Amino acid sequence: MNVHDSEKIAGILTAKNYELAYNPNEADLIIFNTCSIRQKAEQKFYSQLGKLKILKKKNPKLKIAVAGCIAQQEGDNLIKKVPYVDHVLGPQNLEFFNNIFEEKEKILALEENPHLQYLELPIKRIDKVKAFVNIMYGCDNFCSYCIVPFTRGRERSRPSSAIIKEVKQLSEQGFKEVILLGQNVNSYKSQYDFPGLLRELNRVGENIKRIRFVTSHPKDFSLDLIHAIRDLDKVCEHIHLPLQSGSDKILELMNRKYSFKEYMKKIEILKKEIPNIAITSDIISGFPQETEEDHKQTINALREIEFDGIFAFKFSKRRGTKASQMEGHIAEEVKSERLSEILKIQDEITERKNKELEGTIQEILIEGFSEKSADQLTGRTRTNKIFVSQKSNKILPGDIVKALIIKGNKHSIFGNFLI
Ligand code: SF4
């Protein structure tokens, strides 16, 4: 979501003929698009911001803007704390970037924007193959650990017609994949519901070959959506379904509104209806009041479900959330131990699942050249596994090709193109 917001900020400014500077010394305006989902992201931001003090002294004309969730949370406190910050813009107020160079006073834009879903901002996309498309903004779920409903506001769905139009344009521009974005896409509601929107999008744009979406809240994950993934040729066989914990007690404290049994039931239907589905998830380790027994239940859940991959993090206290006020916070070293165990077990499962692909033929969308070696191309399977191969003169980013998988590793699969 933040990456796409950055594309919108860049879109607004390039539409006004400003150019990206590749060195902070050359910039007239430095923008931080911040994330406050975990403490570590916040610390990183403050450390980078601190480094700009000297630059600002050398060049008093330089402006510094802070956007995103830290901006929303801190508001004018940020300017009080760091006086050389010029502008503070929350994630619902990106259109203020339109006048950022003309504005003589400090901008403080933090209001809830009730029209956000109707706002069509220019976008400067960083990728030429895959494109993010917002389908909704905000969240109504108030998971007890999460800051998003406070920073991004209430849930609002973008009109289906605007989404369909954007996907058609992306197809005309040659994009191959769209990634639909929402905090909880399953509760999308406009002219169509979410499975209905997928059915419409599956019909438009002949260049678009793949449709993905993030994120699905398990409580709203419906049979109709499972059928849409199963039946629609462009919708990829991958679902990210955050479990967070295998313990019902912790799920309740998290306000997740499902039990482990209910979650499992949906996983079973999903695996039965779409046998080649890849399932990934999020796990929080060391939530307040998590006992060894609760942690064991999460470990058991990982073994039972066998996710293709997970994002797992230690619980991070976020100011203003219910969880931050709870009793029974877990010591850092215990959180770290539990996280290590979770990651170790999941790594084994992921590697084993990737090895199971050896000898199979997979459809790969080539995304670009490997960061590790310019002699290698990278892409993804429909199930969202990272694929690596030696480069071929006949294959370019954006191509969809068949490949024989010869090696499954922990974080990627390696193969040869069948051409
Ligand atoms: S569903 Fe829960 S975790 Fe996800 S954004 Fe909403 S409140 Fe946060």
Q: Is the CB of 184 under 6 A from ligand 1?
A: yes
404 and 289 in a common domain: no
Instruction: Return the residue whose CA atom lies nearest to atom 1 of ligand 1.
Output: 141
In three-state secondary structure terms, 239 is strand
Question: Which residues of the chain register pLDDT less than 70?
Answer: none
CATH number of the domain that 200 lies in? Answer: 3.80.30.20
64: β partners = 30
pLDDT at 380: 98
Probe target for ligand 1 pocket from 144, 146, 147, with the most ligand atoms within 8 Å of CB: 146
Centre of ligand 1 from the C-alpha of residue 1, in Å: 13
127 and 194 in a common domain: yes
pLDDT at 419: 80
CATH number of the domain that 393 lies in? Answer: 2.40.50
Centre of ligand 1 from the C-alpha of residue 252, in Å: 14
391 and 308 in a common domain: no
Q: Is the CB of 183 under 6 A from ligand 1?
A: yes
Q: How many domains does the chain have?
A: 3
pLDDT at 371: 87
pTM, to two decimals: 0.95
129 and 179 in a common domain: yes
In three-state secondary structure terms, 297 is helix
CATH number of the domain that 79 lies in? Answer: 3.40.50.12160
388 and 339 in a common domain: no
Probe target for ligand 1 pocket from 140, 152, 184, with the most ligand atoms within 8 Å of CB: 184
327 and 393 in a common domain: no
Residue that is last in its domain, among 109, 139, 155: 109
Instruction: Return the residue whose CA atom lies nearest to atom 4 of ligand 1.
Output: 183
Task: State how far the Cα of 138 lies from the Cα of 131, in Å rounded to an integer.
Answer: 20
Centre of ligand 1 from the C-alpha of residue 253, in Å: 14
pLDDT at 407: 98
pLDDT in tens, 304-322: 999 999 999 999 999 999 9
For the CA atoms of the chain, what is the radius of gyration?
22
Q: Is the CB of 146 under 6 A from ligand 1?
A: yes
Q: Is the CB of 136 under 6 A from ligand 1?
A: no
276 and 191 in a common domain: yes
129 and 90 in a common domain: no
Centre of ligand 1 from the C-alpha of residue 154, in Å: 11
Probe target for ligand 1 pocket from 217, 282, 283, with the most ligand atoms within 8 Å of CB: 217
Task: State how far the Cα of 190 lies from the Cα of 203, in Å rounded to an integer.
Answer: 18
Centre of ligand 1 from the C-alpha of residue 393, in Å: 44
Q: Is 299 exposed, middle or buried (0-12, 13-18, 19+ CB in 10 A)?
A: middle
Q: Is 371 exposed, middle or buried (0-12, 13-18, 19+ CB in 10 A)?
A: exposed
Centre of ligand 1 from the C-alpha of residue 142, in Å: 6
pLDDT in tens, 335-378: 999 999 999 999 999 999 999 999 999 999 999 999 888 899 99
Q: Which residues contact 220 (CB under 8 A, 6 or more apart)?
A: 184, 186, 187
Residue that is last in its domain, among 333, 355, 377: 355
223 and 98 in a common domain: no
Q: Is the CB of 133 under 6 A from ligand 1?
A: no
| Domain residue limits at 90 | 2-109
Backbone angles phi and psi of 82, in degrees to 5:
-125, 85
Amino acid sitting at position 169: Q
pLDDT at 149: 94
299 and 219 in a common domain: yes
Q: Is the CB of 139 under 6 A from ligand 1?
A: yes
Q: Is the CB of 217 under 6 A from ligand 1?
A: yes
Residue that is last in its domain, among 355, 380, 403: 355
217 CA: nearest ligand 1 atom: 1
Q: In what order do the strands lie in the sheet with 238-240?
A: 238-240, 278-285, 309-314
Q: Is the CB of 176 under 6 A from ligand 1?
A: no
93 and 7 in a common domain: yes
Q: Is the CB of 150 under 6 A from ligand 1?
A: no
282 and 209 in a common domain: yes
Q: Is the CB of 214 under 6 A from ligand 1?
A: no
